[in-house]
Amino acid sequence: MFWKHAFLFEVSYKLLAAAVIYPLFFFLANTGMRLAGISYLTNEYILRIINPYMIGAVIVIALAVTFYCIYELSFILSSYEYERRHADVTFYSNVLIAFYKLKDCLRPANILMNFYYIFVIAAVNAAVLCNLVFTQTTRNLFKIHVLNGGWHILAGIMTGLAVVYVFAFLGIYSFQVFFLEDKSFKQAYRKSAKLVCRHPVRTVGAVVVYNLMVLALIVVIYGLISVVLVLGVKLLDMAYIGSAVYLSVLRSVRYAVKVILVCVSVPAAFLVITRNYYRFMDCNEVDLPIIYIKEKNKKFHRLAYFVLIFASVLLLSVNVVKSFNNNPFEKIAVFHETQITAHRGASMEAPENTLAAFSRAMENMADTIELDVQLTSDGQLVVMHDDTALRTTGVDKSISSMTLEEVKKLDAGSWFSAEFEGEKVPALQEVFDLCEGKIKINIEIKANSDGYAVARKVAEIIRENGAENWCVVTSFDYAALCRVKECNENIRVGYILSVAYGSFYEMKDVDFFSINASFLT
């Protein structure tokens, strides 16, 4: 019965988390950022959060995640204990006893134990550690602050880690003792430390063997993904959109595998530790009551369970659909990976700033396209880098002196190659129509243009297309960026820096900076 109950619980509980906890996390984070006046949470700012709204949001999120995990561990432990006793306990009885014991975790004397044990489970779990350590952000921080900091920094970190792991391993059985033997956190930690000291090799060995198995599974899974990737690339022509869709799906599969590994490995690691605990302890010391449910209430509980599952699936479906065009991680830098921007589209393969170049960028799986806009004499935005049409169309006229109709008659492709003869200068709206839901857009407002009017028009088009979450505006012209913010504060704007000098990071109304890599340290 244990495996049946554990499977039912894990599926339904993780489903509930994806439908409720996950959106709640981003609601609290975004609410805290909005109240604090923060438009974008960088890695540096995370480390020095002092705003009370953000601190409150972080505390609430930490509490929610911690007690979510503690309840999961409580259910697994109660189910395992009832299986050991061969007690005839229903799935719903396990749900109730786990909730009953969760109240003990909320006592002031035991609050610290919840955070501590979640830390322990993470510290001894290879799947969790790999997801935390092997990220671009972590690697960058390690290179900057550790490798460049000298041997004493590295030695200090290694010593600190050793101390932390000793502290974690000594309390590895503390939750089991607390939950099953009705001890306080302090008493539970002491007994756990005694058990570990009596059986150090078997305790550490079980964790090591488990993690080696997890790492082997990770290698196998990612090996299979790599094989599928190579075969797909060989079988598909990389110049076509089909291969781009294939690779995008495969990337999503990789992310899904990472999430599933974490979701499965946390209860699995806890189960390994629990099995060890039962090998070392006296079963007579277990004091876990049984809650029996009356027969007349069983139908109600079953109905409530299925209603909850249905509601979770429905809510999750809505969240997934919304996330296609609204990435909830967009404003939190720590979740970002290195991304590729196609400058003026795939301008090495097609004429710059044309629909052909933007389509080719999507085929090549760029994350963002960068483009430039100019304002025509009749107040329409077209995509053009220069303020005159000479270089890309051969017509020596300024864009501001022509109407949209006149600009659309120009040939913006012949200069590149005969293949693109007749390619038109696109209006900005045409680019939005092409790219929506497929790729993000970075619109640059040229400093030599009528920045005020262009900024107002750009903000207007972004608002009309509901593109605030997948479109940013950049410029060398700070006043133009301020005007965009005045029109729509939800649009993210970036200031392009020619030289990284001075207190530019104190500029208001700027969400990020575009800077040459040579200025980075």
DSSP for 407-419, written as a single string = HTTS--STTT-GG
Helix, strand, coil tally for the chain in percent (to 5): 65, 5, 25
Non-local CB neighbours of 316 within 8 Å, separated by 6+ positions: 15, 18, 19
- 210, 323, 394 from 244: Cα distances, Å: 37, 20, 34
Assess contact for 513 and 504: CB atoms under 8 A.
Answer: yes
Structure tokens that stand for 118 in this block = 């979640």
Integer-rounded Cα Rg, in Å, for the chain is 29
DSSP 426: P
Tell me the C-alpha distance between 3 and 91, whole Å: 11
Please write down the HEC assignment for all residues of 57-109. HHHHHHHHHHHHHHHHHHHHHHHHHHHHHCCCCCHHHHHHHHHHHHHHHCCHH
Tell me the C-alpha distance between 233 and 203, whole Å: 45
Structure tokens that stand for 94 in this block = 């396990």
Dihedral in degrees, nearest 10, Cα atoms 392, 393, 396, 397: -100
Helix, coil or strand: residue 378: coil
- Which one is catalytic: 199, 301, 336, 385? 385
385 in active site:
yes
343 in active site:
yes
Tell me the C-alpha distance between 168 and 128, whole Å: 15
DSSP 446: P
- 3, 64, 84, 279 from 289: Cα distances, Å: 20, 26, 14, 21
Tell me the C-alpha distance between 385 and 402, whole Å: 15
Tell me the C-alpha distance between 72 and 21, whole Å: 14
- How far apart, in Å, do the first and last CA atoms of the chain sit? 58
DSSP for 485-518, written as a single string = HHH-TTSEEEEEPSS--SSGGG-TT--EEE--GG
Tell me the C-alpha distance between 192 and 274, whole Å: 12
Which residue is listed with tokens 């005839």? 88
Which residue is listed with tokens 């599974």? 217
Which residues are marked as active site? 343, 385
